[in-house]
Every structure is written in structure tokens, then in C-alpha cells.
Amino acid sequence: MKLKGKRALVTGSASGIGRSIAHLFAAEGAEVILLDLRLDVARAAADEIAKATSAKCHAVAADVADEASVHAAFEQSGDIDILVNSAGIAHIGTVSNTTADDFDRLYRVNVRGTYLCMQAAVRKMEPRGKGVILNLASIAATSALKDRFAYSMTKGAVLSMTLSAAKDCLHMGLRINCVSPARVHTPFVDGFLAKNYPGREAEMMKALAASQPIGRMGTPDEIAKLALFLCSDDASFITGTDMLIDGGFTNLR
């Protein structure tokens, strides 16, 4: 029960990595607020997690890219001890074929959304003199990935914002870190392969797995376990850090 007595808000928590984080935090004793774009899917996820863990779980709807929506969601959520920024979207494209609209769409969710939620959380945490924020960055922030121009831009920004905020919030008693996964097998990956490589899903899955020296993609549960450590008191001496969880992608290729 590493998070007993804590209240955690997890964005993008209706599916994928965010949902795994919300589930594990609840299992470890936290009261969890699941924030997602659609209230119905957030509520369904919250109900399932509450039933499985016997924890208190709440669903809140918000568009993380909209300032008023984020403000209302955080007001509704009350005091929080932990924020995990997991909401994000992906994009395939190079500098030459990424449209300005796609660039702006990625920026609004992945960068502006992370900023707005961090800002709202810091304003709640500062008067209490404690709190933890964890952002989901990516190996794309520091490694050259083919066809990930706009996505890499956003994750580089998430990393930089994490370091800057961690420095600014030291005197408040806040810890702010980020994690940088390599490829993680989520429903998004299955949907992407089905859409772009019909009939070749198994072949492409092997190629994606092979890009990590460890020989496979990560799982949402593995990311959640690292998030649990960084958001718990076990990591009380860690702030301003980007933690790789990449199957050796960065250093062993």
C-alpha cells in the first residue's frame, strides 16, 4: 500500500498506459481521479478499477488542451497529492509532410495539455507544501526516430518543461519527474497496424518488437510500476529526472 492516504489524478486514464497507472495506484491504496476527454469512458474505467481494487475512484471529463476545461476539472477534483500526465496523441510524419494543422493538434494535446495540467496541479499543491507530478515523455525526446517529427517535438517539450518546473518548484516541496518509454504495446499499436498494414500485422509487430534490444515492446503495467515508484515516498530523493524505460533502446543499440 505505497500510496495509502494519497489522492492521485491521472490524465488520459480511460485506456492504455494511463489506465494501467490508475489501476495500480488504486491497488496501492490511492484514491484515484480518472480524467479523460469523454466522461462515459472515464466513468466505465473508474467503475471497473473500483470494483477490482475496492478503492475510491472518480471520473472527470476534460479537454486537456482547453484552459477553462482543465480549470473546472481540477476544481471538481479537490486537493490532490499526485498528478500523472498521461494524456497524449501520436502522429506519423516527417518535417516535409507534416501539415501545420497536425503540428498544432499534437502541440495542443501533448504540450499545452501537459502545461495546463501541471499549472493547475502546482497551484493546488503549493499551499500544502507537498506534491508529486509525473509526466509521460518518450525516447523520442532525446533519440532520432524516423517519421515522428511532430511527436518528437512534443515529447522534447515535455522533457524540458519537466526539468524547468522541477527547478522552479523545489522551494515548494514538490517533486517533478518524467519517464521516457520506448515502444509500449497498447491498443493504439494494434489499431495502427490494422489500419496501415492490413494482413501484415504479425510481421510489423515483430519489427516493432525487434527495435528494442531486449527483443520486445514494453507493457503498460511495466510503465505503471515505474510510475508507482516515482510517485511514492520511496522516490523521495528523486526530482528533475527523466527515467528511461526503453528495453535498452537508448544505450544498447
Query: Residue 144, SS3?
Result: coil
Dist. CA 151–CA 93, nearest whole Å: 9
Q: In what order do the strands lie in the sheet with 131-136?
A: 57-61, 31-36, 7-11, 82-85, 131-136, 174-181, 242-245
Query: Residue 28, SS3?
Result: coil
Sign (positive or negative) of CA dihedral 201, 248, 140, 166: positive
Per annotation, catalytic residue among 107, 115, 151, 197: 151
Locate the DSSP E strands across 28-93.
Answer: 31-36, 57-61, 82-85
Dist. CA 50–CA 98, nearest whole Å: 41
Q: Which burial class, exposed, middle or buried, applies to 192 when counting CB atoms under 10 A from its CB (0-12, 13-18, 19+)?
A: middle
Query: Residue 94, SS3?
Result: coil
Count the neighbouring beta carbons within 10 Å of the beta carbon of residue 89: 16
Phi, psi of 164 (to 5 degrees): -65, -45
Verify whether residue 197 is a known catalytic residue.
no
- Active-site positions? 151
